[in-house]
Structure 1
């Protein structure tokens, strides 16, 4: 077995173990940490397959942003695991059926997608280009319109999230940006004149009597 195969099977085994621990860990923090390990292992596998752009994107986007957010949210919410596990076996048949359907669909798509005889090889001039540059050329030339549609959908999602966060509710503080723009100094600052107050001097304390019992 060569070095490439050894590294591939090592990272694949770590990825399978980490994925198994994600769904079997009792603590949500432990599950999130094992998911981070799974992402790192998948990134290493992609690096072995010379997909550097996907590997770095997985580390930067998921491990560096999404998983850190998940971990902080899980730690701050203090989730009660006992209440979540109630009714697990009651809903297990439905969840298992849905999971089986998803697995069959993914297997069908993947087996048809790996039809290597119908795959066209890259031209000699494109094969020498780094995969990040080749992916950028494909996205912004042949798939420019779908990329723009995805960007608009993400923009709408961001605006909707902000609108839902800033909507008027009884338990939240709402600020009107138009009122903040039209604010003036006189509306926020008022100068008040106060009369000076002079305190009377305090008389010094009387001297203590001599401790030897003599007359003052």
Structure 2
């Protein structure tokens, strides 16, 4: 199974700033309140520039949702790439990056919750959501595959996908829980919880992933 490298979509700085401004507006004003005028105010541009880059405000809001998910996946992938070639270290760093800042934040959880309602009612949002999660699962599969081989375990595509689905559910749950900011526990516990649970899901020896919780630097 070849390693899939996640690539951010090429964006010029103006387009990127408009997408960031859109997310700022959605976070502050909600989807209904994120008008072209409000987004333009956040970006410090004229509303006409929105039409130039995206055609319409609705198209830009949809693009902003895809951009949000892409950025989160890219952050985690870049963290995994810093972990050297040991498959257990790469997977550990990928998991930890998803349950720590900057991916773990109340703002991102709030934005996700705002958009997810549209996913259920709008096929365009549903397509964006499905594609981004498909990419995330594929990345998990390429991280899981060499790890299973290293432990002389079955690593066929069906097995890797099954584990990827389970780890995705684990990551999503802890990300959502940690980003709510309810104060019931210290969010710094999440990496250890996530890695220990991942060891259980993958039936790995205790400490295989948890040992990498210490920051390399």
Considering fraction of residues, name the structure with more helix.
Answer: 2
Larger radius of gyration: 1
TM-score, scaled to structure 2: 0.25
TM-score, scaled to structure 1: 0.25
